[in-house]
Amino acid sequence: MTTKKKILLIDDDKDFLFATKLILEKGGYEVFMAEDGKTGVEMWKSVSPDLAIIDMMMETWGEGFSVLNKIRATDTGKNTPLFMLSAVDLQGPYQSYEPPAEFPKVNKVLHKPVKAEDLLSYIAQELGGK
Amino acid sequence: MNTKAQKPLILIIDDEEALRDGCRQALEKSGYAVLAAGEGVEGIKIAREQIPDMAFVDLKMPNISGMEIIEILSKDIPDMVLIMITGYASIISAVEAMQKGAYDYLPKPFSPDQLRALTRRGLDHRNLKIEARRLREEKERMEKSFITFVSHEMRSPLVVIRQYIESLKAIAGDRFDKDVTDIIERCSKRIQGLEEMIEHWLDLSRIEDGTLAQKKDPLNLASIIARSTEEMIPVCRKKGISLETNITENLPEITGDEESLVRVFTNIIGNATKYTPEGGKITVSAQHDEYYVTASISDTGTGIPHDKIPFIFEPFFRVRGKEEKHRGSGLGLTFCKKIMESHSGGIEVTSREGEGTTFILTFPARIPAA
């Protein structure tokens, strides 16, 4: 049996983590969850996942971005696919977030809630199937 | 605000030295701090520097009159309580002074007790005024942050519920009977509706606090209509309704916010699709005269009963009340009306039951820059 690919989920909403974990496990992935940015970065280092999904807006606005930066700065984080979850838009409906040019690469921005089939297909695109 | 000693600071502006001294003694005895000036220019200077809580100003003085001093100080230091000191004969000027911003007047001659009583009352008035303003500011601040609060606190549980429904379908969807799937689908739709309602309600608050529809770009209504109809074609096709446009060439430009105007059009067209039966038609047309560009959206739908027309722009009003088949957020037309108002435009509706409804949007034509 091949080992399952590992996905790290970082989001401060326990229920969102759990709901997404169920979808990912159904998709055949091993799922690790972190409820805050700090734990997320630590788990990234200890687990070395194949992909991470990070909520843009945790405790503070922009928390997700600093997590993304920290992960991209690690050796394993340079080329691993990273997805961002877009938060509730507080700026108004038309000003969707545009990351600055020098910003570390995000492979995909997902909008909550994420459809199960979309989520699994985006991941499969990045990880080349199971 | 006055951050000096705890003692309330009172300024006396009067050219009679005896009166100044008398007031000072009376007030200091009651624990107030007192400043005094013998004429207006000096008095205004002291007031600006020391920001007293309250000032007594004599009406009849050389150089600047008490009336002018009150006018200047009530503008300069709105929190300062101003009292006009006046002789018995000049009640009329006292009234004038009060119109200019004085809180009250004190007729001469007065006793130390009268002076102290009025001082107490004036300071109470000041405290109430400041407190009222603080509360008003607090309320405004809360209203602003309420928008943020709602958007996060109310929407995140809904997002989570929808995510759970997604996972429910993912892990067990193939084991559900059709009626179970139907129930889940209905729940999902209703939650989505609730999310939409919150979203629309937030939009309304954003229009009110000025964070939405603020762009003032030169716009071509034809391209806005093209974008809107393009967006609505799939819905119309699905419902078997034809969507046509009829736009005069060379429409003058209008001024406004493209995104919110597209939403006005998609909103109205979307409504039309809900009330137009299969085989019906929705026509969007635009024309202009010298001053206005007018767009109209007509459908061949069920129409709106005459007596309901005045209410359709009200939040949460539903033409057919509880029997309404198509439950939107109930805020769509309210949104449209507010957006049109923010464009100095108008929105009107004419309708005949059984024949159809027409919405007419009017925009002032943009005056080209010289």
Q: Which residues of B touch A23 (CB under 8 A)?
A: 166-167, 170-171
| CATH for the B217-364 domain, from 3.40.190.80, 3.40.50.170, 3.30.565.10, 3.40.50.300 | 3.30.565.10
Q: Is B159 near chain A, with CB under 8 Å?
A: yes
Q: Which residues of A touch B163 (CB under 8 A)?
A: 15-16, 19-20, 112-114
- The CB-side HSE value for B187 (13 A sphere, CA atoms) comes to 16
pTM (two decimals): 0.56
B166/A26 CB distance under 8 A: no
Please give the distance of CA B352 from its chain centroid, rounded to a whole number.
34
Task: Give me the count of residues in chain A.
Answer: 130
Q: Which residues of B touch A89 (CB under 8 A)?
A: 151
Q: Determine the residue among A11, A21, A22, A96 to mutate to test chain B binding: the one whose Cβ has the most chain B Cβ atoms within 10 Å.
A: A22
Distance from CA of A63 to the nearest CA of B (A): 16
pLDDT value of residue B265:
95
Is the pLDDT at B1 greater than 50? The verdict is: no
pLDDT value of residue B88:
64
ipTM of the complex: 0.82
A16/B206 CB distance under 8 A: no
pLDDT value of residue A1:
56
pLDDT digits (tens, 9 = 90+) for B269-295: 999 999 999 999 999 999 999 899 999
Distance from CA of B255 to the nearest CA of A (A): 18
Is the pLDDT at B206 greater than 80? The verdict is: no
Protein fold of A11-87+105-111: Rossmann fold (3.40.50)
pLDDT digits (tens, 9 = 90+) for B80-122: 999 999 876 577 888 888 899 999 999 988 999 999 999 999 9
Phi/psi at B89 (nearest 5 deg)? -70, -15
* B148, B155, B167 ranked by CB distance to A22: nearest: B167
Do A45 and A67 contact (CB within 8 A), yes or no? Answer: no
- No. of helices (H) and no. of strands (E), chain A: 4, 5
Mean confidence (pLDDT) of chain A: 82
A88/B171 CB distance under 8 A: no
Is the pLDDT at B16 greater than 50? The verdict is: yes
* B151, B160, B166 ranked by CB distance to A116: nearest: B166
pLDDT value of residue A130:
45
pLDDT value of residue B148:
67
Portion 62-101 of A in contact with B at CB < 8 A: 88-90, 92-94
Is the pLDDT at B2 greater than 50? The verdict is: no
* B152, B167, B259 ranked by CB distance to A88: nearest: B152
Could you tell me the pLDDT band of residue A94, with boundaries at 50, 70 and 90? Answer: very low
Q: What is the mean pLDDT of residues A82-106?
A: 61
pLDDT value of residue A99:
56
Listed in sequence order, the residues at least 6 apart from B200 whose beta carbon sits closer than 8 Å to its beta carbon are: B329, B331, B332, B335
Among A90-94, B1-5, B250-254, B303-307, the range scoring the smallest mean pLDDT is: A90-94
Could you tell me the pLDDT band of residue B30, with boundaries at 50, 70 and 90? Answer: very high
Q: Is B171 near chain A, with CB under 8 Å?
A: yes
Q: Which two tokens stand for residue B323?
A: 């029997």
Instruction: Give B49: exposed, middle or buried? Use CB within 10 Å, 0-12, 13-18, 19+.
Output: exposed
pLDDT digits (tens, 9 = 90+) for B219-272: 999 999 999 999 999 999 999 999 999 999 889 999 998 988 999 999 999 999
The reply to whether CATH 3.40.50.2300 applies to domain B9-110 is yes
Portion 30-69 of A in contact with B at CB < 8 A: none
| In chain A, where the domains are located | 11-87+105-111
pLDDT value of residue B4:
47
